[in-house]
Structures are given as C-alpha cells and as structure tokens.
C-alpha cells in the first residue's frame, strides 16, 4: 500500500476542486464538498480532458467538454456519462491531503478473492515499472516469462508483423492483467505486441515465481487458476489473444 501527499487542504475552497500531477504517475482531482474531500482520476474517462476545468455544484461533477456527469460521493456515472470515475482512497491529516493506493493486485480480476497473505507474497515478487508512451513491453515471438498487471496508463495490443498488423484491443483499467501466458506450463511465446499508448505504470511478475507461491497457497492457487481460465476464454474470442 502506497501513501502519497497530494496537496494542502487549504488549497481547495469549499465546493472547489483542483487537479494535481502526482508521483503515482496519474493526474489526481481533489474535490472539497465543504464537509468532505474526495479524490478521483484527474482526466475525463471520455477524452482525457482535465476535469478541474469542468463544473462542480456541490454534489455533481460535470465535464465541460461533452457534459458527462458523476456523483461526487461515489464516482458513479450520472445522466449521459458512460463510465464511472476511478476513485482513490483519501486521507486528510494535519491539514494535508494524501492518496492511499491499494496494490493493483487487490483489484485485479485474476487475483480477486485471494487471501491477503498470498497477495502480500505476490506483491513482494512484483517489480513496479514506469514506461513512457510508445514503449514496447514485449513483441511477438518474445519468451512469455512475465505477467503484467496495469496500475495506470493505457496499453495496446497488436498482432501480425511489419505492415500486416491489426489491433487486438487495449487495457486501461487498474488491475487489468496481460501477458498471462507466463502462467502456462509450456512457456509459450508472445503472440501479440504490447505497447504503451501513454505513460503507464505496471507491476511485472515472473510467471514461475508466481506459480511457486500458488503451489504453496492452495486456496490462492485454486482461485487464480479458476479466474485464469475465465480470462483465457474471454481473450480467445476473435479480438483477444494477448
Ligand atoms: S471529454 Fe469529458 S465528456 Fe467528453
């Protein structure tokens, strides 16, 4: 779990909001309702517009660009909005605002329900990596040794080579897992290229080390394998294949 200072509470008046570039690699919007402070993703999930340029009426946040709206107490979409806002746990202490981030493993589909002890062990194996936009995480034919969990940013998958390539989807939600072939026994090669579309932060775990922990933690092992089979089924549909 990471705690990061964002700002002083006095910088944001009641019914005001402000966004900040942070050390956690994402822009964070802090909103003051007068009673409570909230922290959300700083960019609109529609088209990456800064949300602090929008409107806040004390309960509903509106993006000025195409008028998507969200309930400020939950981040749930209201009216036209088609996606919720990602909310961050916030601590208000000594006049300072902090954001507390749970491990991306905790919110990952693959590790859902895994006991905390196993998550802590897996977290200990994870290397946190920051990648600039246009960085390639892996290419077709590379050994599938590691699996990745997205913390922030956006990663795109491309299949094919040279000028005969096609998009195979993208990921942008914290906790989304890719490169899961690293958990398969025969060490397959990558069948897609993974490239960051924007500055992205990922957790990178060696597949063999993860399997070792799962073998020693039977409940975690059962859940992860069950959820892995669901993930594989989902990605074997026509546009999948990471
Ligand atoms: S960019 Fe925010 S609603 Fe379209």
Q: Tell me how far apart the terminal alpha carbons of the chain are, to the nearest angstrom.
A: 28
Higher-pLDDT residue of 159 and 110 is 110
Domains within the chain, CATH numbers bracketed: 2-101 (2.102.10.10), 104-235 (2.60.120.10)
Nearest Cα residue to atom 4 of ligand 1 = 66
Q: How many CB atoms lie within 10 A of CB 141?
A: 10
Convert the pLDDT of each residue in 101-146 to its tens digit: 777 888 888 998 999 899 989 988 999 898 998 999 998 889 999 9
Instruction: Please state the pTM of the whole predicted model.
Output: 0.64
Q: How far is ligand 1, taken at its centre, from the CA of residue 80, in Å?
A: 10
Which of the listed ranges 49-53, 84-88, 137-141, 201-205 does the model predict with the highest average pLDDT? 49-53
State the Cα torsion 116-121-179-229 to the nearest 10°: -50
d(CA 195, CA 191): 13
Mutate-to-test residue for ligand 1 from 42, 45, 46, highest number of ligand atoms within 8 A of CB? 46
Q: Could you tell which of 29, 54, 66, 70 is best to mutate to test the pocket of ligand 1, judged by most ligand atoms within 8 Å of the CB?
A: 66
Residue 35: exposed, middle, or buried by beta-carbon count in 10 A (0-12, 13-18, 19+)? exposed
For residue 156, pLDDT beyond 80: yes
């Amino acid at each position: 779990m990471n705690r990061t200072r964002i700002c002083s509470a006095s910088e944001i008046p009641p019914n005001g909001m402000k966004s900040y570039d942070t050390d956690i690699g994402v822009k964070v919007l802090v909103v003051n309702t007068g009673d409570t402070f909230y922290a959300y993703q700083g960019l609109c999930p529609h088209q990456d517009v800064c949300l602090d340029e929008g409107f806040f009426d004390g309960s509903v946040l509106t993006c000025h660009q195409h008028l998507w709206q969200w309930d400020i107490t939950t981040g749930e979409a209201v009216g036209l909005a088609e996606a919720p806002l990602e909310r961050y746990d916030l601590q208000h202490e000594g006049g300072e605002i902090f954001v507390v981030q749970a491990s991306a493993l905790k919110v990952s589909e693959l590790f859902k329900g895994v006991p905390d002890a196993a998550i802590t062990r897996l977290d200990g194996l994870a290397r946190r990596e920051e990648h600039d936009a246009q960085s390639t995480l892996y290419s077709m034919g590379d050994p599938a040794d590691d699996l990745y969990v997205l913390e922030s940013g956006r990663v795109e998958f491309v299949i094919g080579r040279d000028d005969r390539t096609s998009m195979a989807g993208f990921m942008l939600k914290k906790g989304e897992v890719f490169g899961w072939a690293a958990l398969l026994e025969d060490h397959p090669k990558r069948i897609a290229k993974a490239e960051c579309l924007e500055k992205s932060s990922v957790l990178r775990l060696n597949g063999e080390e993860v399997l070792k922990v799962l073998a020693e933690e039977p409940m975690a092992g059962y859940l992860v394998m069950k959820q892995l089979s669901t993930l594989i089924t989902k990605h074997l549909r026509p546009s999948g294949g990471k």
